[in-house]
Amino acid sequence: MTIIGIDLGTTNSACGFWRDGEVELIPNRSGDYLTPSVVGLDGDNNVIVGKVAKNRLITHPDNTVGVFKRLMGTNHQVSLGKKRFTATELSAFVLKALKEDAEAHLGEEVTEAIISVPAYFNDNQRHATKQAGEIAGLTVRRLINEPTAAALAYGLHERAEGMFVVLDMGGGTFDVSILEYFDGIMEVHASAGDNFLGGEDFLEAMVGSFCKAVGIDKDTLGKSELQQLYDRLEHIKRKIHTQDSMLLEMDLGGKAVRFEATPEWFKECTQPQLMRVRHPIEQALRDASLRVPDVTEVLLVGGATRMPVFRNMVGTLFKRIPAGHLDPDLVVAMGAAVQAGLKARDKTLDDVVLTDVCPYTLGTEVVDPSGSGKAGFFLPLIERNSVVPTSHVETLATVVKNQRRMEVNVFQGEHRLVEQNIFLGSVAVTVPKGPAGEQTIDVRYSYDMNGLLEVDVKINSTGQVINHVIEQSPGSLTQEEIEKSRARLAGLKFHPREKEENLILISRAEKLYLTSLGERRTQIGRYLAEFESVLDSQKESDIAKAREQFSEALDQLDPGSML
């Protein structure tokens, strides 16, 4: 039984596995290693994931959704047509697509996986990710932190020893991890991050600045127009540093818009985002008590780290040129695959051990320890950056006479008042009556290798133990709800794999049709109609031939967009 390693990203996902002493990445149904994390439904309620869905984000914005990783760990839902989905369910679709790709590649059933999560994901978000795996039919053997995975892949690849700073900026999150690699030991010293800073935020800043410059209210734009604008600006974001200026011409809100984008403009409008990069870096360095000159190497992970403005900033901060020997888009998936090999106790990885830390402080709400009687004070149980797995017990007592209920509110954060921290859940217990302070409970926090928290409460006078539970967790599902989601999603079918190539072409042509004008548009329409009529004939040889011609024709009309 093979365990696969999955990088479930905000914009792109990828998967791989460990075989014969090295990482093997798994191509998806369209032959790429990267699968866009975009999910859509077509007219017959078939699920579409990946490249086709990404194209349909422009042509069918109501039935397609991307960047939903941002919603992980919340109860928010997104409507696709008439159906509503949570981020957990949408992620399950992506995982299911990856699972099928892996099964096709390996020729056997795949039921176990390692999934990577941003290091700074909180308990709710981690639970949601694990549950997405369960809904997709995968037992999640381990959640691995993305920067840790990247360092694992890099460390094994280069076999270089020393202190590494991993900067992982993907589509939606930014993580900083400080690791030491020696004698096969990969030890994480500190992690910090920002869950709302990524390539998408830079893009959002560009869109905002663009709309302001051309005098358009972003909210008045149609969904399809808006997605086109995102698409065009994304293209500019990737290319701008190689050119003096790029021209953006398109019809928006009924008027023709012309905008000249320059590298200076890009730098100016994304500076606020860039400034936010420093804070987590400084925090991680401080937590690891590491000085800049002691850093052996700075590793860049994630597509957004390709931006030259980011590289410059990192370069000046660390006074060195950051390393990027491995593809920043795939290195997390490679690391997850290494972890899969570790988990399976692969012989070739016998001398590798990974130790990680808990990136934030976990604690509970208590009454002011200095005796003012006010509630709402934070008592840390597991300190930030303590090595995991770890557990800690604290004894808490009743504060009023004959108190019956004691509520253990679980919080994550660094502030001494709980209201400034993130609420994770609560456990309520009933204790026997008695004078204030006589009844005590032992609260044990156990933080495991997956970054998941377990809270046990023991009532000392009766010996009763209440465990597992974070019952009231905001984004978490019960086992019952997982089953329900799974049954619901099972009712939706994926497109048959063999039709994938045709679908990619059609979605690409439809997108082109929408974004082109005049003669070009008519021509695309004609090609599209021809191809569809050949498809209707259902003759395999004709279809293959038509597909080739169609693809070539599209390449000629639109040479730049093969991402």
Partner 1 sequence: MTFPWSRLGIEPTENKRDIKKAYARKLKETRPDEHPEAFKQLHDAYKRALWLAEHSRTVEDECGWEALDDDDDDEAAEPAPEVERLEVDLATEVAPATPETPDLENLKPEPHAAPDEQPTIDEAAAATLMEQVNALLSATPDLHLSSKWRFIEAEPHMLDEDFRKEVGERLLARILKHQLTQKNPKGEYGHRKLGDNILAYLNTQFGWSFRFHDLLNRFDYSEIAFLKDLPAAPLHSKADGFGVKGGSKLHKRKPRDPKRPQAGPVYPFYRLVAMAIDLAIVTIPLIIFAKLYGLEAHVKHADIAFIAYLAMTPFFEASKWRATIGKRILGLKALTLDLQPLNFWQALMRSLMLGASIWWLQWINHLWGEPVSDFAAVIWPFIITSWIAGGRYPHDLLSFSLVLNYGRTR
Q: Which of 42, 101, 123, 146 is catalytic?
A: 146
Q: Which helix (H) or strand (E) holds 417?
A: none
Distances (CA, A) of 518 to 59, 513, 552: 18, 10, 20
Q: Are 431 and 439 in contact (CB under 8 A)?
A: yes
| Beta strands 465-466; 453-459: pairing state | antiparallel
Which residue's CB is nearer to partner 1, number 337 or number 546?
337
Ordered DSSP codes for 170-202: -SS-EEEEEEEEETTEEEEEEEEEETT-SHHHH
- Which residue has 């209440």 as its token pair? 466
Q: How far apart are CA 56 and CA 553, in angstroms?
A: 20
Quick check: bond before 389 cis, omega within 30? yes
Cα dihedral 366, 370, 374, 375 in deg (nearest 10): -10
Q: Which helix (H) or strand (E) holds 363?
A: strand 362-366
- Structure token pair of residue 165: 């700073």
Q: Which of 101, 168, 194, 356 is catalytic?
A: 168
Q: Are 382 and 395 in contact (CB under 8 A)?
A: no
Q: How far apart are CA 354 and CA 145, in angstroms?
A: 11
Which residue's CB is nearer to partner 1, number 2 or number 409?
409
Smallest distance from the beta carbon of 141 to partner 1, in angstroms? 10
Q: How many residues does the chain have?
A: 563
By C-alpha distance, which of 495, 513, 381, 482 is closest to 47?
495
Smallest distance from the beta carbon of 548 to partner 1, in angstroms? 31
Which residue's CB is nearer to partner 1, number 16 or number 171?
171
Smallest distance from the beta carbon of 325 to partner 1, in angstroms? 24
Which residue's CB is nearer to partner 1, number 56 or number 105?
56
Q: Which of 51, 69, 99, 458 is catalytic?
A: 69
Active site residue 7: yes
Q: Is 517 exposed, middle or buried (0-12, 13-18, 19+ CB in 10 A)?
A: exposed
Which residue's CB is nearer to partner 1, number 200 or number 510?
200
Distances (CA, A) of 364 to 82, 383, 384: 41, 12, 14
Ordered DSSP codes for 191-256: EEEETT-SHHHHHHHHHHHHHHHHT--GGGS-HHHHHHHHHHHHHHHHHGGGSS-EEEEEEETTEE
Sign of CA dihedral 16, 18, 21, 26: negative
Q: How far apart are CA 57 and CA 37, in angstroms?
A: 11
Active site residue 146: yes
Distances (CA, A) of 402 to 268, 367, 368, 375, 442: 62, 17, 20, 18, 18
Q: Which helix (H) or strand (E) holds 487?
A: helix 479-490
Q: Which helix (H) or strand (E) holds 259?
A: strand 255-261
Q: Are 326 and 154 in contact (CB under 8 A)?
A: yes
Q: Which residues are catalytic?
A: 7, 69, 146, 168
